Amino acid sequence: MSAVQNPIVSEFPSEQDAATYDAWLRQKVQASLANADSPASKRFTSDDVARKLAATIEAENAKRRLA
């Protein structure tokens, strides 16, 4: 049986739950880093991102003006 964690110190009810989450998170981070390093990954410049964000914000504002 695993020890109960102090909720002030840990958001997980047990050490086993914390270890399971930690292993899952490390796997996700490793996969993301491998994907980011892949030459096949799509790249975006900061200008591309800024344009897309501005367009998204404008579209949402236009929807609200029409509502």
pLDDT > 80? residue 50: yes
Is the pTM higher than 0.85? The answer reads no
Beta bridge partners of 14: 4
pLDDT mean across residues, the chain: 89
Collapse the DSSP code of 4 into the 3-class scheme (helix H, G, I; strand E, B; otherwise coil) and give the result.
strand
**What is the residue type of 24?**
W
